Structure 1
Amino acid sequence: MSLNTSRLYEAAGQAEASEETIAGLDAWRSLEPLQQPTYQDAEELAGVLDRLREVPPLIFAGEADRLRDHIAQASRGEAFVLAGGDCAESFASASADAIRRRVQTVLQMAVVLTYGGSLPVAKIGRMAGQFAKPRSSDMETRDGVTLPSYRGDIVNDHEFTPEARRHDPNRLLDAYHVSSSTLNLIRAFTTGGFADLRLVHEWNRGFLGSNPNYHRYEQLAREIDRALKFMDACGADFDAIGSVQFFSAHEALLLEYERALTRIDSRTGDPYDVSGHFLWIGERTRQLDSAHVDFLSRVKNPIGVKLGPTATADDALALADKLDPEGEPGRLTFITRMGAEVIRERLPKLLGDIGDRLPQVTWVCDPMHGNTITSNTGYKTRRFEDVMGEVAGFFDAHYDAGTIPGGLHIELTGDDVTEVLGGASEIDEEGLRRRYETLVDPRLNHDQSLEMAFQVAEYLTDRQKTQH
């Protein structure tokens, strides 16, 4: 370990924890956690976990606290949360160019939302940790051959062979190292000048200039340029726009990994999961008595819970009581994922039944997972119109209920893939064949992500008009 890394680790803090705290962090082990890998060599797993317990943290507790403050602002309508990135990161896709394009896409969306909605945007990447995916079946069969399902690069490989599909604990260490290098690059991009708002035009380079959304973005960039030149003429200090805060998030699915990367903060004595700033619990593992809910109830990171169309007010209230008993703004985010066909029925009922009992919770829309279909050509896909239909239903339900639509949580890539139908580029079912690259779920491409940002900015503008 280098001297600089040692100092960072010391500053991040490993304080002494009480026996009660340690026992609590391990209570999930008695709850039969769902969606966990099946490792054949217990000794090999133990060795990997011992090494993970000794590695430096990926994030610092103070950074997680800052994100919690931003999310708290969003719960009051004073900010907006934008979380975006791959459905499932792969080790092979962690190249500098791929990471830059994903960061670039989130930054561009955030600029559109900030300028259109006159709100600060908390920028979160589904990056540097989103390597595990829950699966509906433990096994997969192809041409009469049955093997374990692909559960993400942190567990096994996508290649359909017995060796590739073996649940390999060494991949936990690989995930840590890829996450570390990804975060290093993200920090370099966002603090080293790349994210300077005065370079807003540069973020559009390398993308297809013929698309109408890019022209629309360039027009907005010119307006920002004019505003910055006016501020410069007035003697404004531009230090604040030279860098941005960019946070990491992933589903806290593999509990052995999350537990091994939990540290005791030297400032407070509280446990933080230092694998990412923001962690969420999926729809499949959010049961009140689940191991995932128990574990995340004991760490101090800001956390989220996915709520599908069957979620009730009783579910939401019980989860809030378990995960956020002190009612701390910014601590708990509910991420609704209901589907375009049912959100206008289910979400208003959920909000109405909850009433004013959860004012501290931030509500965020995941318009992706409830709208997955299979195309006639055999591709797992989504329709952009359905995705935006759910977003519109999310905003309308909150405006009607008098609650705050606090953010978006979306699967996207900075590449010009063809995985989601429709949008301004009018990808059709045959078009899916051109660049269908995802290993798990279909993602919005760069153009579709910008198109979404412009539409959501209009929703935010409409809200401000009604408020005034």
Structure 2
Amino acid sequence: MSDAKRESSLSQEWTPSSWRSKPIKHNVEYKDSTKLDACLNKIKALPSLVSVKEIDELRAQLAKASRGEAFLLQGGDCAESFAGCTSSAIEDKLKIILQMSLVLIWSMRVPVIRVSRLAGQYAKPRSSDTEIVNGKEILTFRGEIINGLAENEREPDPNRLVEAYFHSSASLNYIRTLLSNSFADLKFPHNWDLDWVKSEQVRQEYKDIINKLADSFDFMRTIGAGNQEQSTNSINFYTSHEGLLLNYEEALTRKSNEKKSEKKISDSSIRNNLSFSSQVNLSKVATLPTDNYYNTSAHFLWIGDRTRQLDGAHIEYFRGIRNPIGIKVGPSMESDELIRILDILDPDYEDGRITLISRYGANKIHDILPGHIKAVKSTLHNVVWCCDPCHGNTQSTESGIKTRSIGDITSEIISSIQIHNMLNSKLNGVHLELTGEHVTECIGGSQDLGPVDLTQNYQSFCDPRLNYLQSLDIAFKISKQYGNQTI
């Protein structure tokens, strides 16, 4: 699409359904449109899953992260399953994210924003519409909000949209129950499971950090500083997922009663301060509704690396919602394209409005990240820089099992920290695919898993996840990296 046509398309009025007039990638074709409409109308009539107040609270916290005053920890399943909506599975996910966050707080001395890939991460994009299973070509499994894993469940079923809503609702309800009933009191240090650590030296190192954390909490409790009981037993915890199915997201988009009140920066002021010349005429992008629209399916949503087309449906939908937005940024993202996306999604230059979730791979980050940082620094956009070290480091074993190496994951995180520091920038967060369970899907770490160990407890039907101990490994590695630094 030419620049003139793109500007014209952006200048049209935004509505929750205006994305329907745009080309869309990874769309789902349902055979029964009548049933689809009935399911979407049912979801529209159901209550919001998250509140506007919670979304605004997260916006404020991410604004702090963009200024280096907080750190974003985002993690969870590559793709949730309906069967995974159990009390024990949810408890395990919350526990590992809480424990990781405390390790990061202890080393960084800044608040950690906890965002889970939970209560809605039921869809996944796929590179092909079909796959070969047992010698037959069938539709690809695309997540349980769309179809089933069994061969006879591959036809997209609209009823799964409603089922996903209720599983998300159940997960959120249990999360709130846990956090209101002292689940965040982690009972130092015996609630930290380090029995799986093979190296006695590493185990002792981890125990020393945990004991120092325990001493800090005991000291704060003793002197009554900072209302310690409230701060550890009642914490903020947010949910997120990829906003892939726009008909589902539209059905959960709600208008707030509050009118927008944004301070705009003049176009001439922008041009005087930018070294990069944006290809989008910003005066023509200011066509958003005067009302605030929120996506109430989750607090935070992101656009995948495969659905970020400038003239596409996903960019069109996301530009009108008030939720904080993530954008997956991979090796295929050109710097000028990145600036154009930021101009469209963040026309008012709000701190932390956009989180750039970089996913390059340990062997590519040095070639690509510096250019992206320089491009963003040449604008007035103040983003949250978040490193996703998992997606760019996926590999397969000789036997064909998909896995990831802790060494590669750690390398990309450390490289990201160092590159940001060299360019007078800051890494503001990490985005990890993890579970609190003792699965065997990634190799390496203090558990010293190798390729031969993967079959012991490989449970993921999508991408490999860090297990409980490997997730702690990452937190402790980041903690050591930041030991004597500020973020």
Q: Same fold (TM over 0.5)?
A: yes
- Secondary structure of 2:258's partner? coil
Distance 1:214 1:107 in 2: 19
Answering whether residue 207 of structure 2 is matched by residue 185 of structure 1, we say no
How many angstroms apart in 2 are the aligned matches of 1:297 and 1:359? Answer: 15
Letter in 1 for 2:366: R
How many residues end up aligned between the 2 structures?
Answer: 443
Matched residues in 1 for 2:21 and 2:224: separation?
Answer: 61
In the alignment, which residue of structure 2 is the partner of 1:15? none
- Name 2:266's counterpart in structure 1: none
The DSSP-based 3-state class of the residue aligned with 2:338 is helix
Distance 2:14 2:60 in 1: 29
> Match for residue 42 of structure 2?
51
Q: Which runs of 5+ in 2 are unaligned?
A: 1-10, 260-290
Once residues 50 and 266 of structure 1 are traced to their aligned partners in structure 2, the CA distance between those partners, rounded to angstroms, is 22
User: Alpha carbons of 1:191 and 1:217: their partners in 2 closer, same or farther (altered >3 Å)?
Assistant: farther
Question: Which residue number in structure 2 is paired with residue 342 of structure 1?
Answer: 364
User: Alpha-carbon deviation of 1:228?
Assistant: 2.7
Aligned position for 2:21: 30
Cross-structure match for 2:189 = 201
Deviations 1:235-269 (A, max 9, x none): 33322232111000000000000000001112344
Matches within 5 A, 1:245-324: 245-268=236-259, 269-324=291-346
Could you state the TM-score of these two structures normalised by the residue count of structure 1? 0.91
Question: Which one of 415, 427, 448 corresponds to residue 405 of structure 1?
Answer: 427
TM-score (norm 2): 0.87
Compared CA separation, residues 394 and 189, structure 1 to 2 (3 A): same
In 2: Cα distance, 1:323 partner to 1:204 partner: 41
Q: 5+ unaligned residues in a row in structure 1: which ranges?
A: 1-19
Aligned equivalent of 2:61: 70
Which has the larger displacement, 30-39 or 245-254? 30-39
Give the structure 2 partner of residue 415 of structure 1: 437
| Larger CA deviation: 101-110 vs 341-350 | 341-350
Percentage of pairs with the same residue: 39
Letter in 2 for 1:186: I
Q: Contact 1:214 / 1:447 at 8 angstroms: preserved in 2?
A: no
Residue type of the alignment partner of 1:57: S
- 2:194–2:203 Cα contact (<8 Å) kept: no
Whole-angstrom CA distance in 2 between matches of 1:391 and 1:437: 25
The letter of the residue matching 1:409 is: H
User: Per-residue displacement from partner, 1:304-346 (whole Å, max 9, x unpaired)?
Assistant: 0000012122111111110010000121111100011010111
Deviations 1:276-314 (A, max 9, x none): 000000000011111001101000000000000121221
Structure 1 residue 74, shift from structure 2 partner: 1.0
- Residues 395-425 of structure 1: CA deviation (Å, up to 9, x unaligned): 1111111111000001001111111111121
| Counterpart pick for 1:168 among 154, 157, 161 | 157
Match of 2:474 among 449, 452, 457: 452
Aligned to 1:8: none
The aligned amino acid for 1:454 is: F
Q: 1:122 aligns with which of 100, 103, 113?
A: 113
Q: How far off its partner does 1:231 sit?
A: 2.6
Q: Output the CA distance in 2 between the equivalents of 1:434 and 1:22.
A: 54
**Could you tell me how far apart the structure 2 residues matched to 1:104 and 1:110 are?**
10
Choose 421-430 or 78-87, whichever is displaced more.
Answer: 421-430
The more displaced of 441-450 and 134-143 is 134-143
Match of 1:133 among 120, 124, 129: 124
Note if contact 1:330-1:361 (Cα within 8 Å) is conserved in structure 2: yes
Q: Secondary structure at the match of 1:270?
A: strand
Preserved contact between residue 88 and residue 133 of structure 1 (Cα < 8 Å): yes
Structure 2 CA distance for partners of 1:125 and 1:417, relative to 1, 3 Å = same
